[in-house]
Structure 1
């Protein structure tokens, strides 16, 4: 199996943090800056499938995942939200580029 690149390790750490949060557990910011992670879901009314941005309130880094399940307890931000609605739900962040790890 090929060794992961640094970009792949960073992406994997962020994805693992998302999975822990999604499953109801705490997760530290993968950047190690002590910031708190947040999930902002996006979707269509009545649908429980959408997208999510996972982001850190201190370092302002994060990842975007498409086609995820939206928990029943979450009211997602509509895909057609206004810029003002988006700005109130999530600050300006730097998205970590997708680094797909493909083991042999």
Structure 2
């Protein structure tokens, strides 16, 4: 697993355990605060989905599936995401779990 991806996963764990810190935690890529987290859920089961975790500053981030969606989590269905531009994740560079050198 790439080192930067592991940093993003650790940061996700910190934010998941302390959601109030989301906007103030430093980005694993650029070091500036401004992280965002959005859970994409199915319209009939909002308890499980996939997470999009990115930085508003450098526009880098990760996504992964089959995560529990916490009560505090901002979530959106695919249908809602298409209809609402304010709640959707912007374009960001996805950091892969592995690199060619791994």
Q: TM-score, normalised by structure 2?
A: 0.77
Structure 2, unmatched stretches of 5+, are none
State the Cα distance separating 1:65 from its structure 2 match: 1.2
The SS at the match of 1:13 is: helix
The SS at the match of 2:32 is: coil
Q: Is the 8 A contact 1:33 1:58 kept in 2?
A: no
Structure 2 equivalent of residue 95 of structure 1 = 94
Take 1:74 and 1:43, find their aligned partners in 2: how far apart are those partners?
11
Are the structure 2 counterparts of residues 52 and 22 from structure 1 closer, same or farther at C-alpha, using a change threshold of 3 Å? same
State the Cα distance separating 1:44 from its structure 2 match: 1.8
What is the aligned length? 93
**Is 2:43 aligned against 1:24?**
no
RMSD between superposed Cα atoms in Å: 2.1
Deviations 1:7-27 (A, max 9, x none): x10000001111111111633
Structure 1 equivalent of residue 4 of structure 2 = 10
